[in-house]
Each structure stands twice: as C-alpha cells, then as structure tokens.
C-alpha cells in the first residue's frame, strides 16, 4: 500500500484523459485534462495550460503524473488510482481492486463497449508501467443497473442471441449513484421512493430509481439507445439500422449512428445545447424540440416501471445548466404535479418546482469523479479492516 493520502481518478477516452485528485477527506484538490492525444496535444491542470506532444496514452499519463508531482500529488503522494470503466458486463457489478483477473474481465467486455473499454485498459496498462507499486481500482458505469429486474434487462430474443451478451446493461450508473447520495443533502429529505432521474448531457439517459435502486433505464445494450443525444441517434427501429448497413456498409453506419446523428444530425451539425439555444433556425429549434419530446415520452414510460412518481432530478451538463430544456421537460410532467417555478428554474436553484408541487424537481450537480473516489476509499477501508 502506498503511504500517500490522495486519490487520483481517471476518465480515459480515445484522445483524452480527464483527471481529478481528491484528498483523504474526499475534497477535490486538482483537476484537469490531457487532450489531443495522438495529434499534437495539450495538458491543463487547474487554470494553467500548456501544449505538449502526447503521442499515446502512456506519454499523456506520464505528463499528468509529472505535473501532479509538481503540485504535491505525484505517485508518492497517492494512495491509489481509480478508473472509470464504462462496461463491466454481467460479472463486474461493483467497484473492485484491479487484478490480472479483473483486467481480463474488462478486456472480455471490449466487444460490448468497443468505443470505451479499450481506452480504460490503455490507462490501466500505462499506469502499471509508470507507477507499478501504486494500487489501481475500477468503478463501472453499468454496475448501478446490474440488479434491475430481469424483465427490464432482457430483449425479446432467443437464447442464442442472449448468449452473445445482447441485453440491456444501462449506463451513467456512477452519475445516478452520486445523485442518490447527494439528493437527500440538497432536499433535506430522505431519498424519494420513486425517483425519475435525468442525466442530460452530450450523452443522455433517464433512470427509474425505486428505493435507491435502478429498476429501468433508457440506455440499453450500448449507450446508443434511448434519448436523442448530442451525436447519437437514440432509439431506432432495428430494421432501420439494418437498412443503413445495406446501403452504407457497417463502418459508415456505425459512424453515422454514433457520431453524426442526434442533435447534430437534426440541426445541421450542432451537438452542443448551448449553441443550439443561441442559433435561431428551424433546424436548431426542431432539434431542441426533438430532444425534449423524447425526454418527456421516455420519462413517462419509466414512471410505469416505478408504479408512480414522487420526485424528479436533473443532472449532467444540460440538466444542470439549460433552463430552457428543464422548463420544457417539466411542463410535460405538470399534469402529474411537477409544477415548475419559473423564477427558481431561471436561477438554477436547487429546487425548481413550486413549494406546493406534489412532485418536486431538483438540480443535482454531477459528482461522478467523487463517487469513484468514494468507492475506492471504501474498498481500501474494507481491506484494512476499517
């Protein structure tokens, strides 16, 4: 075990490594990002930024560790490194220390998350070379949904298709876990029994949370399913996807569905909700309408899985900052008693419904990195017998 005190949390993508450092009391100390990996590169730590040659993830992480050491949070000051791993499949359903066996299981999930898990593995392997004595841990975005009812997780497919891993896994689980932890502090009430949680960002989903547990969510086999997203299509008739493959081929179809659809596909190339709200064209307004319509429609289907509704919560970049989107979505639930308060919503107040609203709605800042750090601290304490 390292004699350090801080925990480094890594969220590794194809061309970037986002990082955050938390102290022993889980207070954030530093954060930043190494980006442009493989094509130039830049490193930001706090308010400072510099251009760097970052040809691969190992070089990027070496630069991150070097700059963190300058700030008193290098490998010698770290107790652990904790990774966000998107997909844990059916076996990795809780935070865990990284071992050779766990690494092999993460690699086995690569076919389920080919755009995500390989990059997490790159960071895991790079850290093993750069700081071999530093313990590594992983938290999984799919884990929060792992004990949802089987009827909610199975597609209506025969056993031979199920054997391929074709089932609903759900994602954004770390965000939802953090939301469940934070909402009672914000509301000064116990966690609602029947909570509809909206994680709205470039990737977007909704989760039906009953007594703190996921019972249904909009994302499925991959993060492509469900809501209209920044560049992802959301739910699509399977035959429509097959038609695209026939016409465009597999590779172009994957790119279209994942990178050129959603808000970008509807608006003419704009995926950022802030830009959409500032651009008054029929295409951009329709993209916003589409986003909100499907959030309302999917949300109502999840109320059926909950058997009712006690509260709504918004998190993620759009959920926390877009007054327009929140207002439009809440208007769709007004008939259930989620009556929005225009002034509170305009101020991004914690509670954005009227005091008399039967179904209160809240804003909860996303804390995925802190959730991962908390997971790791809990594992270390358990291992130490604390």
Catalytic center residues: 141
CA-CA distance, 148 to 169, in Å (whole number)?
9
Alpha-carbon gap, residue 172 to 214, rounded angstroms = 11
> Distance (Å, rounded) from C-alpha 237 to C-alpha 41?
39
Q: Which two tokens stand for residue 1?
A: 């075990």
DSSP β-bridge partners for residue 22: 7, 28
Number of Cβ within 10 Å of residue 31's Cβ equals 15
State how far the Cα of 186 lies from the Cα of 157, in Å rounded to an integer.
Answer: 42
Residues 298, 301, 306: CA angle, nearest 5 degrees: 125
Q: How many CB atoms lie within 10 A of CB 257?
A: 22
How far is Cα 159 from Cα 75, in angstroms, rounded to an integer?
47
Distance (Å, rounded) from C-alpha 44 to C-alpha 34? Answer: 6
For residue 235, give Cα distances in angstroms to 24, 82, 93, 227, 231. Answer: 42, 32, 25, 7, 13
- Determine phi and psi for 231, rounding to 5 degrees: -130, 0
Query: Which class for 256: exposed (0-12), middle (13-18), buried (19 or more C-beta within 10 A)?
Result: middle
Cα–chain-centroid distance for residue 236? 21
- Own/partner pairs for 379-386, CB < 8 Å, 24+ apart? 379/95, 379/96, 379/97, 379/137, 380/1, 380/79, 380/80, 380/135, 383/97
Residues 373 and 20: their CA atoms lie apart, in Å, by 9
Decide: 356 and 339 in contact? Cβ < 8 Å.
yes
């Amino acid at each position: 075990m390292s004699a350090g005190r801080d925990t480094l949390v890594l969220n590794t993508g194809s061309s970037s490594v986002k990082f955050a450092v938390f102290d022993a009391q889980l207070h954030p100390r530093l954060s930043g990002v190494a980006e442009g990996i493989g094509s130039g590169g830049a490193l930001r730590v706090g308010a400072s930024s510099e251009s760097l040659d970052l040809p691969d993830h190992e070089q990027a992480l070496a630069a991150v560790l070097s700059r963190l050491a300058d700030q008193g949070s290098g490998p010698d000051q770290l107790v652990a490194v904790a990774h966000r791993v998107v997909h844990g499949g059916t076996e990795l359903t809780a935070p865990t220390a990284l071992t050779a066996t766990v690494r092999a299981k993460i690699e086995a999930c690569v076919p389920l998350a080919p755009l995500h898990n390989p990059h997490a593995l790159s960071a895991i392997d790079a850290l093993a070379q750069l700081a071999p004595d530093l313990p590594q841990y992983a938290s999984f975005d799919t884990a929060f949904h792992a004990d949802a009812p089987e009827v909610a997780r199975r597609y209506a497919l025969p056993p031979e298709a199920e054997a391929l891993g074709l089932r609903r896994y759900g994602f954004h689980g770390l965000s939802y876990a953090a939301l469940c932890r934070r909402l009672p502090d914000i509301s000064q009430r116990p966690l609602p029994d029947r909570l509809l949680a909206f994680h709205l960002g470039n990737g977007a989903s909704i989760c039906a949370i009953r007594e703190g547990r996921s019972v249904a969510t909009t994302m499925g086999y991959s993060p492509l399913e469900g809501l209209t997203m920044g560049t992802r299509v959301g739910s699509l008739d399977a035959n429509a996807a097959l038609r695209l493959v026939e016409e465009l081929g597999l590779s172009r179809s994957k790119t279209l569905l994942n990178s050129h659809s959603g808000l970008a596909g509807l608006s003419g190339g704009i995926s950022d909700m802030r830009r959409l709200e500032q651009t008054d064209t029929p295409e951009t307004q329709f993209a916003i309408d589409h986003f909100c319509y499907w959030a309302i429609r999917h949300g109502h289907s999840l109320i059926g899985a909950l058997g009712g509704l006690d509260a709504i919560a918004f998190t993620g970049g759009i959920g926390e900052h877009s007054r327009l989107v929140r207002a439009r979505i809440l208007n769709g639930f007004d008939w259930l008693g989620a009556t929005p308060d225009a002034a509170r919503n305009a101020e991004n107040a914690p509670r954005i419904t009227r005091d008399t609203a039967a179904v209160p709605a809240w804003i909860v800042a996303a804390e995925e990195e802190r959730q991962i750090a908390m997971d790791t601290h809990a594992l270390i304490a358990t291992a130490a017998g604390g």
